[in-house]
Amino acid sequence: MTRGRPPLVALKEAHLIAMKRGQVMPVSEGRGDHFHFILFTENRVTFIKVKRMLSDISDVKEILQDYEREIRHLARVPLNAVDAREFWVRSPRGTFHFFLIGKDRILGLQADGSVMTGIEYPLELMPKAKDAPALPAGRIPAADPAMVHPAGKDPAVVQTPALPGAEKDAPPEQAPAQEG
């Protein structure tokens, strides 16, 4: 399932910004790509994902929550001492927000790749209410008798129809004992 049209203007502008930092290699588009291009600088290889915002949001935490899915996809790119992962978001006004996706945190960046002070968030963002699981993790309702049959509530007895041909293999039913 696609999530809207590609951010063509954002990709074009992001490519120009990245070229100011080093050599850029575009990545062919395909389903499930974790990044749009790779930036090669003197001492680092950076995998960059670019998105566009549909509304003009300035709150960094809200931006990170809105794009949590994309950030998680980008975070799957393995890291080592010379690799980095960056997430760039273009607002409708044409301004960019740049983020460095670390192993356990997200840092705000300038366009030149330098880290901004005061913009640091944990990689595990607060889940939205709609993303909350219906059941606590690790609990399977069928394995937990308290969840299957709550106290004082017995399940209704349901008669299941016999399958055709099952009568000849089934043991004969016993008639209920009559009181005499």
What is the pLDDT at residue 41?
93
Give pLDDT tens digits for 9-59.
Answer: 999 999 999 999 999 998 876 655 788 999 999 999 999 999 999 888 888
Whole-prediction pTM: 0.65
**Residue 83 forms part of a structural domain:** yes
Task: Give the pLDDT band (50/70/90) at residue 2.
Answer: very low
Band the pLDDT of 5: cuts 50, 70, 90: confident
- 80 lies in a domain? yes
Q: How far apart are CA 18 and CA 95, in angstroms?
A: 14
pLDDT digits (tens, 9 = 90+) for 113-158: 999 988 888 887 545 445 555 555 555 555 555 555 555 555 555 5
Q: Which residues pair with 7 in a beta bridge?
A: none
Examine residue 149 and state whether it is found in any structural domain, yes or no: no
CATH of the domain at 14: 3.40.1350
Residue given tokens 């393995």 in the structure block: 78
Does 159 reside within a domain? no
Region 95-112: mean pLDDT is: 93
User: Residue 152 domain-assigned?
Assistant: no
Residue 110: the pLDDT is: 94
Residue 169 within a domain: no
Range of the domain at 42: 8-130
Please tell me the distance from the alpha carbon of residue 42 to that of residue 16, in angstroms, as a whole number. Answer: 18
Q: Is residue 124 part of a domain?
A: yes
Q: What confidence tier does 171 reach under pLDDT thresholds 50, 70, 90?
A: low
Residue 175: inside a domain = no
- The answer to whether the CB of 71 falls within 8 A of the CB of 85 is no
Q: What is the dihedral of CA 12, 21, 66, 121, to 10 degrees?
A: 180
Domain count, the chain: 1
